[in-house]
Structures are given as structure tokens and as C-alpha cells.
Amino acid sequence: MEFSRRETLAMGLGAAMVTVLPFRVSAAADDRIAAFTGGAEMAEGGVTLNAPEIAENGNTVPISVEAPGATAILVLAAGNPEPGVATFNFGPGAAQQAASTRIRLAGTQDVVAVAKLADGSFAKASATVKVTIGGCGG
Amino acid sequence: MISRRDFLQVSMAASAMVGASGFGNWARLAAQQSLTQDQLLEFDTFGNISLIHVTDIHGQLKPIYFREPSVNLGVGENKGHVPHITGADFRKVYGIADGSPSAYALTYNDFSALAKAYGRVGGLDRVSTIINAIRADRPDALLLDGGDTWHGSYTCHHTQGQDMVNVMNALKPDAMTFHWEFTLGSGRVNEIVEGLPFAALGQNIFDSEWDEPAELFKPYKFFERGGANVAVIGQAFPYMPIANPRWMFPEYSFGIRDENMQMMVDEVRAAGADLVVVLSHNGFDVDKKMAGKVQGIDVILSGHTHDALPEPVLVGKTHIIASGSNGKFVSRVDLDVRDGQLMGLRHKLIPVFSDVIAPDPAVAQLIEAERAPYKTQLEEVIGQTDTLLYRRGNFNGTWDDLICDALLSEREADIAMSPGVRWGPSLVPGDDITREEIWNVTSMSYGEAYRSEMTGEFIKVILEDVADNIFNPDPYYQQGGDMVRIGGMGYRIDITKPQGERISEMTLLKTGEAIDPAKSYVVAGWASVNEGTEGPMIWDVVEDHIRKLGTVTLDPNNSVQVAGA
């Protein structure tokens, strides 16, 4: 049996797969959070982060954040080589303190949102987004 | 709410008639005489609303054999709970006698012998008879199709789903949700859905560009039944663009979206729903988790993971009904809904014994008309089997052993991979293997059999990735398939470990040597989700292999060692 070069190169499951293990929260992400909060404690609750459990496409993952009364929300992709995604600032006239965007994830990792609330306190939420080869659905 | 006694009365009467002994010697006729259509359909009509649930038919118009899995492991909170128990343990939980019709329908033991006694199951003409009988009791019963309907056979592939659409339309469903339908490509799906005479539902079917609900698929539909408002909310398979080729339906996005589900439940309740039913293609464990998070769902009709359970599973106030696959079962759920509340429920999982339930002649004729143009191709005998051929099981099944053998030999590969899908009927020893049977376990719109080189390290990455899609302890991270089947290589898996640590002891079977992470191996497989995959179609590869073998005889496959089960 003969195989053409093209056939041999035709790749099977997810040739673009780059990651084996979930990416850990990097020191860079911790530094970003510390810079945003000034090292203050962060409460759980008060900020809502919506992200898919499994990314349909790791190159463009839709996420949204909401924190009623917040003046700013920091969003990080904790496992990306460069974890910074965005900081959304809300002026006093903002009708709602919510934002949505799409982010690129290098692999399975936590997406983190930290909100600075009107009273100067901070709240945090995180969600694990899995980036997978897929391909074996029942 | 549903008592064991209720269940025993309606469902187990049939088993009592047949008893536990001597099943191996029965002729088909004996089974037919001791089991009657009236017994299978017997149901004390209850309350004011009836639901009829069919799901995961996978293109099976005609009666087939379908062996349930022997290995179906649960992880985390689901370990040891239904549907993750099999065989004798399953029969014990539900009080099913060995060798009884229920044992044959719901468990795997003595399958070949019981198959000879009880015969084939399913066939949409038989399903139609059951639906007609339920409608005779309750003319406005709702027929709900959980999806994976327009996929899975030779005729379905060649008509791009039209055969299934035509036959299902004759059964007059009220609503449907989706999974494999989308592998027809979004253009074709849109074309069919636009002409459907019933509701196409999916609260989680979104437009991928704008991340807004897709216009063509409504989140829910109201039905007025028995003096009550019934809201049926659709939930399509959440991980379609991951488990199946995204490039075939790029305009659509899915996901579990349980916050949106909660919003839809709240919305229909506010609009006056007395009963909230979710028609789901989540898979059983995902439905269980969702039932715990979303408040206000009365009934989830669960599909995707192909589980068949003879009793509902209750999570909080939500009843989850699992109705099997491949046309093997029909669930009837009678509900008493009064004063805006579900007061009671009676359920029966009806096994579709094809030699016991008479075909509906009109639907039988329709099925034959759909098959007639392909009759010669369908019926061509390619070989015979001496081995029970089945697919279901977390790690392997004999059909995939055969498919992997075909890939190794026809494609001259070191290692073969076959996807862990859960569809595909069984064949019993002595059966002919026709072209139709090969297509029943292989047909799809991306069946190219690729051949490529992969390093040992990359093969491990694939196994770890797929293993996490089935054994992640959080059901929301599970995709509902089985493990990718491997030919030519053995491995050990500890299902309790995290991703990256489950797989070890990968061994190339032909040499007995450990897989070298740095070395390249020739890998043949099929059903790649990547666009532009090239190679011959898998059904042709398997057909060539079976022709050469003449008669298929497979050795037991012990190449996967499982720990942590």
C-alpha cells in the first residue's frame, strides 16, 4: 500500500494541541492582582464571572463580568504567558457595572475577575475554562 | 412519589410471566407466546398529562440488537450510582430476574443467548405502535424527541437525514432537540428545521458571532394539555463544537448555559407554566448536576449518554428520565398536574421487543419506501461473525476492536484509534455482516480514515485529554462519550487521578516495548474533528478487512488495565 506525503501529513486528532496539564496561576497573575488591590483582602461573592466550562475555541472564549456598584473590574487569564486581559472602569454615570469580551486562552486554566467596589473593598471570582482536543462525543 | 410497587406493577409484570430459568433454550416463538404486546404496553393511565420520550435513535429505522455496557464507570459523586452500575448489580438494584426480558433489555450478561430467545429490539414501526397505544389512552400525549435522530445509518447518510425526517414526521412529534443532526452541516440542518412541522428547541443554541440566542431554534414551547400549561424547554448537546467538527456549523455556539436555563424556567413560570419539562441532550450526569443548580424543573427527559433506567432519578424536586438509545425503548410518563403543581408521576420504560410488538403497517411501508432505493447495497453480505459484536463500554467493545484491527492492517499502522462514540447496534454470533451493519457503526459526515505520525508523548496527550472528558469528577467538564479505543497499544488508566496522571504503562503490543515519548509511531484513525482530514472512508476500510477475513473471530481484549474503578 502506498501513501502520499499529503495523506501522511493529514493530521488526526487536534494537531494544534499545545498543552498537557492545566496551567497554574502564575506569579505574574498574583503580581497583577496585588497591584490592583494593593494587597487588600478579597471577598468571595459580589462579582459574577460567566465563562464556558469548556471552550469551543480556545482562541476566542466569550466571557462576561458583572459587579453591582463596582468602580473597576480586573480580568486575568491566570495561566496565559501574559495574564492581563482587561481592566474595566465604571464612572459614576454607568447604568450597570458589567462588561463582556472575548479572550484567548493558551490552555486549560482559571479566568479570574477582581472587582473594586464602591466602598473600596475588593471581591474576586474565578472559573476554570477547559481547552481540549475533543472529538469523541457520544 | 413513584413507589417501587408502582414500578413493579407496571413494568415487571412481564418478567414475572417469563421467569428466570431455561432462557438459553427458548425458541423465539416461546418468548413471543409468554410475552405479549398488551403486557409491554400495560399502563394504568394516571393524572392529566402524558409525555412520550424517545431519544438517540441514531438513524435506526429497523429492529436491531443492542447490548448494554458491562463497564460504565462513574467518578466523583456519581461513583456507584445509576447509571454507573451494570450487570448483576443493576439487576439487584431494580429487582430484575436473571434471564428475564428486563435483564435482556437492560443488562449485558448472556447477551447472545438471550438475543436468540427474545429477538431484536426497536424499529420505528414498532415505536409507532407504542405511541399509537399511548395516544389511544391519552389522545393529546406529547411526543418529545431528544435528538441524535438524523444520524447513524447508510440510508440516513445517503439522504442527508431525509429518511429519518420523513419517518419521524409520520410519528408526529411535538418537539425535538439536537446533537449529531448538526454534523449534516448547518446549511442542511437549517433547511430541515425550517420545514419541520414541530418545535425545534434549544435554549443553549446561540449565534456564535454575537453570542445571542439563535433565531431558528426557540428556547421553549408552551402546550396546553389536560387543563394545564406545559412548558417544554430544549437543551441541545452542550459540547457539539468540541466533540464534533466545529467547522461544519460555524454559525452556532452551545454550552451548558445553566444561568440561561434558570432564566428560561423563571420566564415560563412567570408566563403561567404549571409544568416545566426539559427535553435534554446533556447526558445523564450533566442533567443531574443541572437539576441541582437550576430550580423549578419538574421533569428532565435525558438523552445523549444512552442510559436506560427503569425508574426516574429524583434530584430535589426534579425527576430525571433516561430512555436508552437506538430505538430500543420508549418512555411513557404520566403526570398529575393540578393548581400549578406536579402532584404525582407514573413512569414506564417500555422495551421495544420487535417480535412482540406488532409493526404499524403504515410506518412499516414508509420505512420500506425509504430503504427501497438502497436495498441491494444495504443487504450485500460482506462476511460473518463468530463473535458478539457490540460497541458500548468505557474502554473498548468488540466492534471497535474489529475497526481498530481493520485500521492496523488495511492502513499498515502501529497504533489505531477509534472514537468513543456510544451509538451502533450489536450483532450476535452466527450473524451475517451486511454493508448496512458496517454503516450502522461507522456512518458519519466526517468518516475519513487518516494516517499520520505521532510521537509517544503526543499519543499520551490525546489519551489524557479524552480521559478527562469522561472521568473529570465535575460532570460539567464531561462530554458524554467513552474513552477513545486503541488498537495495537495497551495502557493502564487510573480514573481517580487528575488530567496528566491517569495514563501509564503505554505498551506497543506487537513488540511488547514501552512507548517511547520521543519516538514517532504510525497512527491510523477516523472521525477527526479537523477540517481537511484525508483518507479513505472508514466503512470502506472495515468492509475490505471483513471481506478478507470472511468470518470475524476476535480474541478477548485485555489491553487496558483499569484502576480506581
- CATH number of the domain within which B175 lies: 3.60.21.10
Q: How far is CA B87 from CA B82, B94, B330, B444, in A?
A: 12, 11, 21, 30
CB-nearest to A14 from B453, B500, B530 is B530
Is the separation of the CB atoms in B559 and B489 below 8 Å? yes
- Please tell me which residue of chain B has the smallest CA distance to A16: B530
CB proximity A18 to B under 8 Å: no
Q: How far is B299 from chain A (nearest CA, A)?
A: 23
Q: Is 50 exceeded by the pLDDT of residue A80?
A: yes
**Pairs of residues, one from chain A and one from chain B, whose beta carbons lie less than 8 Å apart:** 147
Q: Is 80 exceeded by the pLDDT of residue B4?
A: no
Does residue A138 lie within any of the structural domains? Answer: no
Domain shared by B346 and B437, yes or no: no
Domain shared by B419 and B521, yes or no: yes
Cβ of A135 and B529 within 8 Å?
A: yes
Cβ of B499 and A133 within 8 Å?
A: no
Does residue B488 lie within any of the structural domains? Answer: yes
Cβ of B479 and A17 within 8 Å?
A: no
CB proximity A27 to B under 8 Å: no
Does residue B375 lie within any of the structural domains? Answer: no
Domain shared by B161 and B273, yes or no: yes
> For A58-82, what is the mean pLDDT?
95
Cβ of B242 and A52 within 8 Å?
A: no
Is the separation of the CB atoms in B408 and B488 below 8 Å? yes
Domain carrying residue A76: 19-129
Q: What is the CATH classification number for the domain harbouring A47? A: 2.60.40.2470
Domain shared by B397 and B338, yes or no: no
Kindly indicate the confidence band of residue B32, based on its pLDDT and cuts at 50, 70 and 90.
Answer: low
CB proximity B411 to A under 8 Å: yes
Between these two residues, B121 and A132, which has the higher pLDDT value? B121
Domain shared by B411 and B342, yes or no: no
Does residue A10 lie within any of the structural domains? Answer: no
> For B462-491, what is the mean pLDDT?
95
Instruction: Give the range among B33-42, B120-129, B324-333, B524-533 with minimum mean pLDDT.
Output: B33-42
Q: How far is B31 from chain A (nearest CA, A)?
A: 32
Does residue B434 lie within any of the structural domains? Answer: yes
pLDDT at B33: 60
DSSP assignment of B495-560 equals TTSPTTSSEEEEEETTTTEEPPTTSEEEEEEE---STT--S-BHHHHHHHHHHHHSEE-------E
Q: What is the CATH classification number for the domain harbouring B533? A: 3.90.780.10
pLDDT in tens, B374-403: 999 999 999 999 999 999 999 999 999 999
Q: Which of A100, A93, A109, A114 is nearest to A44 (CA)?
A: A114
Kindly indicate the confidence band of residue A24, based on its pLDDT and cuts at 50, 70 and 90.
Answer: low
Domain shared by B388 and B362, yes or no: no
Among residues 508-547 of chain B, which lie with CB inside 8 Å of chain A?
523, 525, 527-530, 532-535
Does residue A135 lie within any of the structural domains? Answer: no
CB proximity B68 to A under 8 Å: no
Of B369, B399, B414, the last residue of a domain is: B369
CB proximity A12 to B under 8 Å: yes
Percentage of the residues of chain B whose pLDDT score is greater than 90: 93
> For B406-423, what is the mean pLDDT?
97
CB proximity B280 to A under 8 Å: no
Does residue A125 lie within any of the structural domains? Answer: yes
- Please tell me which residue of chain A has the smallest CA distance to B455: A15
Cβ of B412 and A1 within 8 Å?
A: yes
> For B347-372, what is the mean pLDDT?
97
Does residue B489 lie within any of the structural domains? Answer: yes
Domain shared by B210 and B302, yes or no: yes
Q: Is 60 exceeded by the pLDDT of residue B9?
A: no
Residues in chain B closer than 8 A to A57 (CB atoms): 241, 246
> For A12-33, what is the mean pLDDT?
61
Does residue B545 lie within any of the structural domains? Answer: yes
> For B449-468, what is the mean pLDDT?
95
CB-nearest to A13 from B246, B305, B528 is B528
Domain shared by B131 and B216, yes or no: yes
Q: Is 70 exceeded by the pLDDT of residue B10?
A: no
CB proximity A84 to B under 8 Å: no
Cβ of A134 and B239 within 8 Å?
A: yes
C-alpha cell at B549: 477475513
Between these two residues, B18 and B470, which has the higher pLDDT value? B470
pLDDT at A133: 78
Cβ of B499 and A21 within 8 Å?
A: yes
For chain A, the helix, strand and coil percentages under 3-state DSSP, each to the nearest 5:
10, 35, 50
Domains of chain A: total: 1
> For B180-193, what is the mean pLDDT?
98
Q: How far is A48 from chain B (nearest CA, A)?
A: 11
pLDDT at B284: 98
Domain shared by B440 and B553, yes or no: yes
Between these two residues, A27 and B48, which has the higher pLDDT value? B48
Cβ of A56 and B420 within 8 Å?
A: no
CB proximity A5 to B under 8 Å: no
DSSP assignment of B206-235 equals EETTTTEE-SSSBSEEEEEETTEEEEEEEE
> For B312-325, what is the mean pLDDT?
98
Does residue A43 lie within any of the structural domains? Answer: yes
Between these two residues, A95 and B432, which has the higher pLDDT value? B432
Residues in chain A closer than 8 A to B536 (CB atoms): none
Q: Is 50 exceeded by the pLDDT of residue B14?
A: no
pLDDT in tens, B520-550: 999 999 999 999 999 999 999 999 999 999 9
Kindly indicate the confidence band of residue A11, based on its pLDDT and cuts at 50, 70 and 90.
Answer: very low
Domain shared by B449 and B352, yes or no: no
Q: How far apart are the C-alpha atoms of B6 and B312, rounded to whole Å?
A: 12
Of B369, B399, B432, the last residue of a domain is: B369
pLDDT in tens, B203-247: 999 999 999 999 999 999 999 999 999 999 999 999 999 999 999
pLDDT at B34: 76
pLDDT at B18: 34
CB proximity A13 to B under 8 Å: yes
Does residue A1 lie within any of the structural domains? Answer: no
Q: How far is CA A104 from CA A82, B405, B478, in A?
A: 11, 40, 22
Q: What is the DSSP letter of B172?
A: -
pLDDT at A12: 38
Taking all residues of chain B, what is their mean pLDDT, rounded to a whole number?
A: 93
Domain carrying residue B268: 4-369
Is the separation of the CB atoms in B441 and B425 below 8 Å? yes
Kindly indicate the confidence band of residue B31, based on its pLDDT and cuts at 50, 70 and 90.
Answer: low
Cβ of B532 and A9 within 8 Å?
A: no
CB proximity B450 to A under 8 Å: yes
User: How many CB atoms within 10 Å of residue A11?
Assistant: 18
Q: Is 80 exceeded by the pLDDT of residue A25?
A: no
Q: How far is CA B296 from CA A127, B103, B263, B267, B272, in A?
A: 25, 35, 11, 11, 13
State the Cα torsion B152-B277-B472-B399 to the nearest 10°: -20
Domain shared by B340 and B454, yes or no: no
Residues in chain A closer than 8 A to B458 (CB atoms): 17
- Please tell me which residue of chain A has the smallest CA distance to B475: A53
pLDDT at A27: 83
B14-51: b (≥16 Cβ within 10 Å) or e: bbeebeeeebeebeeeebbeebebebbbbbeebbbbbb
pLDDT at B163: 98
Domain shared by B333 and B445, yes or no: no
Total-model pTM: 0.91
Residues in chain B closer than 8 A to A14 (CB atoms): 462, 465, 529-530
> For B452-475, what is the mean pLDDT?
95
> For A130-137, what is the mean pLDDT?
74
- Please tell me which residue of chain A has the smallest CA distance to B255: A52
Among residues 177-216 of chain B, which lie with CB inside 8 Å of chain A?
179, 208, 211
CB proximity B469 to A under 8 Å: yes
Please enumerate in sequence order all residues whose Cβ is within 8 A of that of B83, keeping only pairs 6 or more positions apart, or say none. Answer: B72, B74, B284, B305, B307, B309, B322
Cβ of B469 and A136 within 8 Å?
A: yes
pLDDT at B437: 98
Domains of chain B: total: 2
Q: Is 70 exceeded by the pLDDT of residue A35?
A: yes
Choose from A2, A6, A8, A13 for mutation: most chain B CBs within 10 A.
A13
Does residue B497 lie within any of the structural domains? Answer: yes
C-alpha cell at B539: 466503512
Q: How far is CA B482 from CA B331, B395, B412, B416, in A?
A: 24, 7, 25, 16
Of B369, B388, B423, the last residue of a domain is: B369
End-to-end Cα spacing for chain B? 32
Q: How far is B289 from chain A (nearest CA, A)?
A: 13
Is the separation of the CB atoms in B303 and B323 below 8 Å? yes
CB proximity B243 to A under 8 Å: yes
Cβ of B530 and A108 within 8 Å?
A: no
CB proximity B324 to A under 8 Å: no
Does residue A62 lie within any of the structural domains? Answer: yes
Cβ of B532 and A138 within 8 Å?
A: no
Q: Which of B204, B143, B154 is nearest to B164 (CA)?
A: B154
Kindly indicate the confidence band of residue B8, based on its pLDDT and cuts at 50, 70 and 90.
Answer: very low
- Please tell me which residue of chain A has the smallest CA distance to B281: A138
C-alpha cell at B358: 406488532
Does residue B550 lie within any of the structural domains? Answer: yes
pLDDT at B128: 98
Does residue B438 lie within any of the structural domains? Answer: yes
